[in-house]
Amino acid sequence: MIEDKLLGKRVEYPKTYCPEILVAVPRSLNREIYGIHQTTGLFCGYDSWHAYEASFILNNGMPVVGMLKIVYSSDSTYIVESKSLKLYLNSYNMTPLGNTREEGIAQFTHKITEDLGQILSTQVKVCFFSKEPTGLLPFDFNNYSILEDHIAPQDICFSIYQEHPDYLQENINTQGGELLIASHLLKSNCKITNQPDWGSIYIHIKGRILPDSKSILKYIVSLRNENHFHEEICEMTYKRLYDFFQPDILMTACLYTRRGGIDICPVRANTPEYLPIFLSQVKLLTQRPLRN
């Protein structure tokens, strides 16, 4: 499989700049399983990545360190496999770039933008942050209600930990409306290595029928032993909600915690106006949930 070219294998870290180590994985490999044959009319969105171990050296040997924010569209044919991105970024650790910090950062971001854009066949936006921003960071999800904080856990029986769409049930006590709900109980596993991936999921849904809160929390928990990439979990959840509730508004965002120095935050919505604004802005860092 393309996905396991590097995952789960002992791979030597490149000692010098190594763009050829990047691995592109077709999005279609997972989408076809859930009946996503084309995204037009179904969803739009983006994948926002944060790489916390970004570094290179100047021509005089002095290191420059910081973090990267990388954003590209969900319309891209491919995603970049995360371990290959980690190895690629680490190949810069001893790579001389520029005589000054400003010059080096410009070369660093230009090369990454160019290499990722080429392998993914899409426009990629990249920004380097050399220090933490001051002041309160913006956050797209302030008005979301955390499901597990408002549901007594003893009132629910959790017993299935593989993705279980039959858990999704209509709330028969409402005639429709709008929900902004979230959970910090999101967990899935790496598709190849089975390593745990932790995160928070945010759902904006409006329509004639709405999900029962207990049922959607049970569905989220049922992902606990599911083996998928982060982007796939987001799209699978979106498609299940879309098919069952046929909503007027639907947005799902999965903000995963970092692993291997990288976090991935995929977002999907039925129209662009419902996409989170701040997370997509490559030159803007946003507030992170507690466990991120």
CA–CA separation, 255 vs 290, rounded Å? Answer: 11
DSSP state of 278: G
Indicate which residue of 47, 115, 140, 197 is catalytic.
197
CA–CA separation, 153 vs 44, rounded Å? Answer: 34
Place of tokens 């220090």: 131
Examine the residue annotation and report whether 248 is marked as an active-site residue of this protein. no
DSSP state of 4: T
Place of tokens 């090369």: 111
Helix %, strand %, coil % of the chain (to 5): 30, 30, 40
Contact 237, 269 (CB under 8 A): no
Number of H helices, E strands in the chain: 6, 10
Place of tokens 């109980």: 185
DSSP 65-83: EEEEEEEEETTSSEEE-HH
Q: How many CB atoms lie within 10 A of CB 217?
A: 22
Indicate which residue of 190, 234, 254, 265 is catalytic.
190
Examine the residue annotation and report whether 197 is marked as an active-site residue of this protein. yes
Contact 89, 35 (CB under 8 A): no
CA–CA separation, 237 vs 231, rounded Å? Answer: 10
CA–CA separation, 30 vs 40, rounded Å? Answer: 17
Say what angle helices 230-245 and 213-221 make with each other, to 10 degrees.
Answer: 150
Q: Which residues are catalytic?
A: 190, 197
